[in-house]
Structure 1
Amino acid sequence: MASCMDRNIGGKNMHMKRCLMFSISMMALLAGVPAAIAPISAHAAGRTPAAAPAGAATPQAPISGLYKALEQSEQSGAGIGKRSAMIAPLVDQAFDMDAILKRSVGLHYDQLSADERSALINAFKRFTVARYASTFKPGTNAVFTVSQTTEEDGRTIVHTTIGNRNDSAESATPIDYVMVKGPNGWRIVDILLDGHISQVAAQRSDFKTIFSQSGANGLARTLTKKADDFLQD
């Protein structure tokens, strides 16, 4: 099984693409995804720009905050522990971990006790933070761009790209975020690679398999172990 830790697959951009999807997934299911292309505009694609509700934070806000933290992390020169501490609050604000886990685990998620659910969410958060801190380390030279928000098939989607400052803008990887507005404002509930590859769908089989074999505690242990591996970087 290939891992995001495999440094020699496809160069920096492909490594970054794989690691971005790995940020909320355990398995590198996207090996062989074709090279990224530049995103097309909302008008060219026939999309309708979405308007944020009056008085609410914009859908772009949590992603912009996360990207800023990742930029600061890679420019800080700090060790992975300090980088994790820089990123963690913004990951917590940006992602609706409960919603992502519910969709990934399936119906059994609603049957978990409060303690089981809390432990699983905490492990998932730690995993996500550790993955980001491991990916965006000093010297990564990532360039983050947040562009328009659109409505597609009833979903609010924020379009972004992540590239490398040493490469052309056309080589940047399109990363889109499916956003939902709840009591705590706009939060990410899915990530789309190249505009259509769903992170939640990609990880669902793996999460369900581990959950069926080892339960919520087993899935939490797996996520924690993976986070520990990343934090040794």
Structure 2
Amino acid sequence: MVCDRRFFLAALAVLPALSAARADDAAEAVAAVQQLQDSQLEIIPKIGQMSVKQRYDALRPPIGATFDLPDIARIVYGAGWGSLTDAQKAEWTGALADYIAASYAAHLEGFNGKGFERDDKTVARDGAQIVTSRVILTKGPPMALDYVVRRTPKGWKIGDILAEGSISELAQWRRSLRGLSQSGFAGAVATLRQRTESLLTP
């Protein structure tokens, strides 16, 4: 009984530390999402006055800072990733980040939003923190936009974005780039860069 009581008291002592750790995780996950959304908010009022390339230049740094690009790159590349050298993985990751930023820049052309709402609390799911937010549209009800944020060696980073709770951006990137790696690494990178360039020069 004494042993059980000591174990119980020791467990109670650990709870505040665990709660603080979870709170820190949530705060860092929300901060990553806020950094990305703030970069978009700076562009939204000026969309009509900015070229796609100018929007790309503004978005590329925060995308590089907030996305879990190494893991996204691995998933999008697919089969054969494990056989690449570290230099090749880094090259593909950078090219994919350019493509993602160019996609965002191009799609902002018809953006029907004026801001974001974001919850400060997160939901833990499968080792990730889900940051719930909403796009405030110029017309119609807000659109749900959830961010899947995971702990990485460089802090909490965005691994996926879910529109309306289920439409995965990661799945869309993987679908649109499916099969590139079948042409070999050099061909895959060349094609990816061509697609990025076509987005920047419509």
TM range (shorter): 0.7 to 0.9
Report how far residue 69 of structure 1 moved: 1.0
Q: Is 2:39 the partner of 1:69?
A: yes
- Aligned CA RMSD, in angstroms, stands at 2.8
Report how far residue 202 of structure 1 moved: 4.3
User: What TM-score does the superposition give when structure 2 sets the normalisation length?
Assistant: 0.76
SS at match of 1:62: helix
Cross-structure match for 1:198: 168
Counterpart among 131, 156, 159 of residue 158 in structure 1:
131
SS at match of 1:167: coil
Cross-structure match for 1:132: 104
Report how far residue 92 of structure 1 moved: 0.6
Higher-RCO chain (CA-CA 8 Å, sequence separation at least 6): 1
Percentage identity across aligned positions?
A: 24
Paired residue type of 2:128: R
Report how far residue 173 of structure 1 moved: 2.1
Paired residue type of 2:131: V
Report how far residue 141 of structure 1 moved: 4.2
Across the two proteins, how many residue pairs are aligned to each other? Answer: 181
User: What TM-score does the superposition give when structure 1 sets the normalisation length?
Assistant: 0.67
Cross-structure match for 1:115: 87
Report how far residue 186 of structure 1 moved: 0.9
Call closer, same or farther: CA 1:96–1:55 in 2, change over 3 Å.
closer
Q: Is 2:29 the partner of 1:59?
A: yes
SS at match of 1:151: strand
> Does the aligned pair in 2 maintain the 1:73–1:137 contact within 8 Å?
no
Call closer, same or farther: CA 1:184–1:53 in 2, change over 3 Å.
farther
Cross-structure match for 1:44: none
Report how far residue 53 of structure 1 moved: 5.4
Q: Please identify the structure whose Cα radius of gyration is greater.
A: 2
SS at match of 1:158: strand
Paired residue type of 1:231: L
Paired residue type of 2:196: A
Between Structure 1 and Structure 2, the one with more helix by share is 2
Q: Partners in 1 of 2:123 and 2:150 — Cα distance? A: 13
Paired residue type of 1:183: P
Q: Partners in 2 of 1:216 and 1:206 — Cα distance? A: 17
Q: Partners in 1 of 2:37 and 2:25 — Cα distance? A: 23
SS at match of 1:134: helix
Q: Partners in 1 of 2:172 and 2:111 — Cα distance? A: 29
Report how far residue 136 of structure 1 moved: 2.2
